[in-house]
Chain A
Amino acid sequence: MEILSLIALSIVAAATPLLFAALGELITEKSGVLNLGVEGTMLVGAVVGFAVTALTGSSVLGVPAAAAAGAVMSALFALLTLNLLANQVATGLALTLFGIGLSSLIGQDFVGTPLERLPRLDIPGLSDLPIIGPLFFGQDALVYLSLAATGGVAWFLSRTRGGLVLKAVGENPAAAHRLGHSVLRVRWLAVLFGGAMSGIGGAYLSLAYTPLWAENMTAGRGWIALALVVFATWRPGRVLLGAYLFGGVTIAQLHAQSAGVTAPSQFMSMLPYLATILVLVLISRDAARIRLNAPASIGKVFHPGG
């Protein structure tokens, strides 16, 4: 019983950073922009969230700081790709390379600094229930926020005028422009949202999943988040499913290692990456489905002057 509850909790913890980053990237991509800088943005979010929390002693400041840092990183990307019309793939890669360097520069004084994990909700009675207690009533605030964000993004995309405009800009920016919508403004906001969410996702890693700062601690999660968006065929509900699936794979291999599975640990650690390739192949195999679901203008530079 105890071990089941522990496994469930750790799956949630492994899934949450992916969920934040993938939801943010989903909105960015829905506007027709492909931001490959998620990995670098998450790293900067992780280090800024950690540093601010360590210096002020308050994660209530650390998490918004991480979101702001993520937004600043993505603002660089937006400036280059939306205003200066740079290639989105190249700029996204630049953002990741820059983020890796910048985060290790900021973080060099924080390597080895201990930090208390984000506090978990504790409702007397409810949180003490076996299994469902800690699972439903004993998570930290960011877990609840990530779930609320999933609902919020789904609601925004399917039920609001803003969501409609966002999708219109992503599907056909020229038409949206002629209708009087500012493609530039919509895309800027979408990119900023994506950056802030990646920043929070990174902060979850350094404040809750493993409460410490280590260089390159995202270990490819930013890229996995990008793959999750494709896996989810750009639907928030499936992003949630995918994130928890990947959280499950990550935790399964960790527990298999500690349970004494004889395969070398390195082979177990390969599993999340191999699983990413596998689901990408399974989803992308159906080219028509990808074409149908992917925002039509994704990755393409839009300049109203033509």
Chain B
Amino acid sequence: MAGEALFGVRLERRPTPSRAMMLATPPLAVLLTVMAGAVMFAALGFDPSAALKAYFISPLTTLYGVGELAVKATPLAMIGIGLALGFRGNVWNIGAEGQLTLGAICAGGLALAFYGDEGWWLLPLMMAGGAAGGLAYAAIPAFLCTRFNANEILTSLMLTYVATLLLSYLVTGPWKDPDGFNFPESRLFNDEALLPVILEGTRLHLGAPMALAAVAVGWVIVARTLIGFQIKVVGLTPIAAGYAGFSQARAIWFTLLLSGGLAGLAGAIEVAGPIGQLQPSISPGYGFTAIIVAFLGRLHPLGVLLAALLMALSYLGGEQAQIELGLPLAVTGVFQGMLLFFLLASDFLTHYRLRRVSPAAVG
């Protein structure tokens, strides 16, 4: 059947997605975002070149800045790996922010429970507790989806609001710092409950190598295991997966538990790393930005790592531009949203091609 031809060209589905385009579109999207960003800065009344410099270059001119980049990329990569695996199987965990919050609550709760009785064992316990908390929280949408057919997008997202409210209750109520002048914060954790800094002169902590390990594990799952293959088949052609005996429910459980566990671990790393206590807000939306990271990284672990660094730069640049030029911090969100738009828009080059049609062939 002929498609609708327009101006003598026709959109035609490629037999297989173009690999070259798949790799070319993320840089293209970044370029388009930077150009649109320049226009946006000009519209806001700022000098575009100064603003872009403050945004993308200034943060990386110091060792401290590079360390900060890795600190912010750590949760993004960790969560992005898990989400990417789920998205491959058409499992849409949108509630990573909530799972991160639960992980932070569990890890922070352990730090407070053993306050004054710390030992070397506390940090591993906090990490395990955070991962378990995120995993258990993601088990709720997995259960509701596989048992009751309830859409995991909506349930996981609703649970994010619930988790934020739970954290707010804890830090304003039972876990509030007794000597904290009534601020809604927990005690500051003792040193044994904090991830050690691994690079002098920065805040770079032990969480960064943990994120790298998560990327490696993600790569092994994708490239070398049966479950990784099954998830991909379930995502691409559910019917074929059914014939092959690959269970969709299994893919849902596996990817939700894995991504939830990783998000929980990221939450534990945040409270034991840069934050060092429980606060009403643990993350500037890492769980949502990780969705962009997963797509920008082409749902591939190595791509996710690069994308995490880039999105970390967008957070860092936003802060830098606010300090240097007084640009509103909200620009970061606009940048991130635009980037995903441009990526999705240019993505059609991966799956479709334009083909010239002779007038005779039309109709």
By a CB distance below 8 angstroms, the chain B residues around A215 are: 330
Flag if B158 contacts A102 (CB, 8 Å): no
Within 8 A of A (CB), among B306-349: 328, 330-338, 340-341, 344-345, 347-348
By a CB distance below 8 angstroms, the chain A residues around B12 are: 305
Flag if A87 contacts B344 (CB, 8 Å): yes
* A259: interface (CB < 8 Å): no
Flag if A89 contacts B148 (CB, 8 Å): no
* B162: interface (CB < 8 Å): yes
Q: Mark A291-306, 1 if CB is under 8 A from B, else 0.
A: 0000000000001111
Flag if B173 contacts A264 (CB, 8 Å): yes
Identify the closest chain A residue to B168 (Cβ): A266
Q: Which of B2-10, B115-123, B205-213, B259-267 contacts A (4 or more CB under 8 A)?
A: B2-10
Within 8 A of A (CB), among B9-27: 10-13
A93 to B295, CA, bound (A): 11
Q: Mark A83-110, 1 if CB is under 8 A from B, else 0.
A: 0111101110111011111101100100
* B114: interface (CB < 8 Å): no
Flag if A280 contacts B344 (CB, 8 Å): no
* A277: interface (CB < 8 Å): yes
Flag if B334 contacts A80 (CB, 8 Å): no
Flag if B333 contacts A86 (CB, 8 Å): no
A225 to B158, CA, bound (A): 12
Q: Which of A62-70, A189-197, A282-290 contacts B (4 or more CB under 8 A)?
A: A282-290
Q: Name A's interface SS.
A: helix
By a CB distance below 8 angstroms, the chain B residues around A108 are: 328, 330
A274 to B154, CA, bound (A): 11
Q: Which of A85, A224, A273, A303 contacts B162 (CB 8 A)?
A: A273
Most chain A CB atoms below 10 A, which of B328, B334, B351: B334
Q: Min CB distance, A92 to chain B, in Å?
A: 9
* A270: interface (CB < 8 Å): yes
* B1: interface (CB < 8 Å): yes
Flag if A94 contacts B344 (CB, 8 Å): yes
A284 to B10, CA, bound (A): 40
Report the count of interface residues on A (CB-CB < 8 A): 52
* A281: interface (CB < 8 Å): yes
Q: Which of A85, A86, A102, A276 contacts B337 (CB 8 A)?
A: A102
By a CB distance below 8 angstroms, the chain B residues around A85 are: 11, 348, 351-352
Flag if B337 contacts A303 (CB, 8 Å): no
* B183: interface (CB < 8 Å): no
By a CB distance below 8 angstroms, the chain B residues around A102 are: 330, 333-334, 337
* A220: interface (CB < 8 Å): yes
Flag if B151 contacts A273 (CB, 8 Å): no
Flag if A104 contacts B330 (CB, 8 Å): yes
Within 8 A of B (CB), among A44-86: 76, 79-80, 84-86
Flag if A230 contacts B337 (CB, 8 Å): no
Q: Which of A79, A84, A105, A227 contacts B154 (CB 8 A)?
A: A227
By a CB distance below 8 angstroms, the chain A residues around B344 are: 80, 84, 86-87, 90-91, 94
Within 8 A of B (CB), among A259-279: 264, 266-267, 269-270, 273-274, 276-277
Flag if A277 contacts B334 (CB, 8 Å): no
Q: Min CB distance, B158 to chain A, in Å?
A: 4
Flag if A266 contacts B169 (CB, 8 Å): yes
Q: Min CB distance, B281 to chain A, in Å?
A: 12
By a CB distance below 8 angstroms, the chain B residues around A100 are: 333, 337
Within 8 A of A (CB), among B113-145: 144
Identify the closest chain A residue to B2 (Cβ): A305
Q: Mark B287-321, 1 if CB is under 8 A from A, else 0.
A: 01101100100000000000000000000000000
- Assess A97 versus B169: contact at CB under 8 Å? Given A85-B348, A220-B157, A305-B10: no
Flag if B11 contacts A270 (CB, 8 Å): no
Flag if B161 contacts A273 (CB, 8 Å): yes
Q: Which of A230, A267, A270 contacts B151 (CB 8 A)?
A: A230
By a CB distance below 8 angstroms, the chain A residues around B340 are: 90, 93-94, 97-98
Most chain B CB atoms below 10 A, which of A79, A80, A108: A80
* A4: interface (CB < 8 Å): no
Q: Min CB distance, A111 to chain B, in Å?
A: 11
Flag if A305 contacts B154 (CB, 8 Å): no
Q: Min CB distance, A26 to chain B, in Å?
A: 15
Most chain A CB atoms below 10 A, which of B158, B295, B330, B336: B158
Identify the closest chain B residue to A215 (Cβ): B330
* A240: interface (CB < 8 Å): no
* B149: interface (CB < 8 Å): yes
* B94: interface (CB < 8 Å): yes
By a CB distance below 8 angstroms, the chain B residues around A277 are: 144, 150, 154-155, 158-159
* A207: interface (CB < 8 Å): no
A261 to B154, CA, bound (A): 29
* A208: interface (CB < 8 Å): no
Flag if A290 contacts B158 (CB, 8 Å): no
Between-chain CB contacts (< 8 Å), 13 pairs? A84-B348, A85-B352, A90-B344, A93-B291, A94-B344, A97-B292, A97-B340, A223-B158, A264-B169, A270-B165, A273-B158, A273-B162, A280-B151
Q: Which 8 A-B pairs have the closest CB atoms?
A: A101-B333, A98-B337, A305-B3, A266-B169, A104-B330, A94-B340, A101-B334, A105-B330
